[in-house]
Amino acid sequence: MRIFNITFCLLFVVSAALQYNDPDPWVWIPLYLFGAACCWQAFRNRYYPVAYLAGMLGYGIYALYKLLERDGAWDWLTKHDAANIAATMKAETPWIEDTREFFGLVILIVVLLVNYLYAKRKNDRQHSTLRAN
């Protein structure tokens, strides 16, 4: 888990830094830095399940919006035949930008979910060990 968390911590910090030139950096920099902070704490063996749940809820609501909005990920899938969204770094159409943002949110959700499940399993094991003694 330590390698998993330090890897995603670094990836989320880099992702936050790359948002500097984005049209809405005030939204995306904090979103990525929250994920980085959660991974950093987990790397240090400090788990915060409530923070993971709050993050997943917030990211999930925003991901749903990015999925269903006009030119969102659903339009990319159904109207644009899931065209390549990684061919160039420049998002030449709105559906490319919105679809990339959707998948960024999905990655954040998955990472927080992994940490949440790990923390829950770790907590359950500690409680069962205490009960056994």
Q: At what angle do helices 94-132 and 25-43 cross, to 10 degrees?
A: 30
Residue 85 region by backbone torsions, left for phi larger than 0, else alpha for psi between -120 and 50, else beta: alpha
Predicted TM-score (pTM) of this structure = 0.85
Residue 33 pLDDT: 98
Q: pLDDT, tens digit, for every residue of 71-95?
A: 777 777 676 665 666 665 565 666 6
Answer for the pair 1, 42: CB distance below 8 angstroms, yes or no: yes
Residue 132 pLDDT: 60
Q: pLDDT, tens digit, for every residue of 3-14?
A: 999 999 999 999
- Is the model's pLDDT at 96 over the cut of 90? no
